[in-house]
């Protein structure tokens, strides 16, 4: 029986590099490289049947993801602060009736594909990048590093209101936010800003 040439084909996260040899039963094996960079020797029948789709990283990620879902079921997380952060992020970008749509979606700001329909992907990123569910209000807010950029892992961070307000797009006629010794946020005219009395 002629062996099917798998060279260059892609199966899941694996790309076939070349024929490697045969296993103990005579089945053709192939040297593959995973998207993560790991090389793996796989039986051809496992590739074609979908039994093997990665070097093992996909299975690991699936276990982590499913474990995360079991620990944090959606009906519980939907009432969390983090879920509100995710929901608010999308609303500002896509809901035209949102009071701040003009400053986000109206300017072309969007949410990356990784996050827009997957709360758990956003939650996993948030929890590994400094999000604190128990933080005092205003101490842990979602901030875009580039105010003109999208919501995505490369452009987001968690910061307090001081950092976020001072990172605004338009700083003219604006105020400087600072945390006073009394533990309360205060606003003072930014240098060069016009002060209007009354």
| Whether residue 90 is found in the same domain as residue 185 | yes
In this model, does residue 175 exceed pLDDT 50?
Answer: no
Domain that holds residue 23: 10-54
- Listed in order, strand segments (DSSP E) in 127-171 are 141-144, 156-159
Could you give the number of structural domains in the chain? 2
| Whether residue 159 is found in the same domain as residue 115 | yes
| Whether residue 39 is found in the same domain as residue 76 | no
In a domain, 59, yes or no: no
In a domain, 168, yes or no: yes
Distances (CA, A) of 95 to 13, 98, 119: 35, 5, 17
In a domain, 62, yes or no: no
Please name the residues in contact with 32: beta carbons below 8 A apart, sequence gap of 6 or more: 11, 14, 15, 16, 17, 39, 40, 41, 42, 47, 55
| Whether residue 39 is found in the same domain as residue 131 | no
In a domain, 82, yes or no: yes
In this model, does residue 26 exceed pLDDT 80?
Answer: yes
Highest mean pLDDT of the ranges 58-67, 144-153, 189-198: 144-153
In a domain, 197, yes or no: no
Q: Read off the pLDDT of residues 28-84 as tens digits, 9 standing for 90 and up.
A: 999 999 888 889 999 999 998 888 888 887 766 555 445 444 444 444 567 788 889
Distances (CA, A) of 60 to 54, 129, 146: 10, 21, 33
| Whether residue 82 is found in the same domain as residue 37 | no
In a domain, 198, yes or no: no
pLDDT given at position 62: 58
| Whether residue 45 is found in the same domain as residue 95 | no
Q: What is the pTM of this model?
A: 0.49
Better pLDDT: 11 or 196? 11
| Whether residue 173 is found in the same domain as residue 95 | yes
pLDDT given at position 196: 32
pLDDT given at position 30: 95
| Whether residue 29 is found in the same domain as residue 80 | no
pLDDT given at position 154: 93
| Whether residue 50 is found in the same domain as residue 126 | no
| Whether residue 92 is found in the same domain as residue 45 | no
| pLDDT band at 185; cut points 50, 70, 90 | very low
The C-alpha atoms of residue 194 and residue 178 are separated, in whole angstroms, by: 18
pLDDT given at position 6: 92
pLDDT given at position 168: 62
Better pLDDT: 137 or 158? 158
In a domain, 143, yes or no: yes
Q: For the residues 3-24, what does the mean pLDDT come to?
A: 91
Q: Read off the pLDDT of residues 85-117 as tens digits, 9 standing for 90 and up.
A: 999 999 999 999 999 999 999 999 999 998 988
| Whether residue 28 is found in the same domain as residue 89 | no
The C-alpha atoms of residue 142 and residue 156 are separated, in whole angstroms, by: 7
In a domain, 67, yes or no: no
| Whether residue 48 is found in the same domain as residue 121 | no
């Amino acid at each position: 029986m002629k062996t099917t040439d798998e060279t260059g084909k892609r199966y899941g996260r694996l790309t076939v590099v070349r024929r490697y040899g045969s296993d103990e039963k005579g089945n053709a094996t192939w040297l593959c490289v995973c998207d993560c960079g790991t090389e793996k020797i796989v039986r051809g029948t496992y590739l074609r049947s979908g039994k093997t789709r990665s070097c093992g990283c996909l299975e690991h990620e699936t276990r982590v993801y499913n474990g995360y879902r079991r620990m944090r079921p959606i009906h519980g997380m939907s009432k969390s602060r983090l879920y509100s952060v995710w929901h608010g992020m999308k609303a500002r970008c896509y809901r035209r009736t949102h009071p701040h749509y003009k400053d986000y979606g109206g300017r072309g700001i969007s949410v990356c594909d990784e996050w827009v329909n997957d709360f758990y992907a956003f939650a996993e990123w948030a929890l590994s990048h400094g999000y604190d569910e128990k933080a005092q209000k205003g101490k842990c807010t979602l901030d875009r590093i580039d105010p003109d950029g999208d919501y995505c892992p490369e452009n987001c961070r968690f910061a307090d209101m001081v950092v976020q307000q001072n990172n605004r797009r338009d700083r003219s006629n604006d105020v400087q936010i600072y945390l006073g010794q009394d533990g309360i946020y205060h606003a003072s005219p930014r240098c060069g800003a016009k002060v209007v009395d009354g």
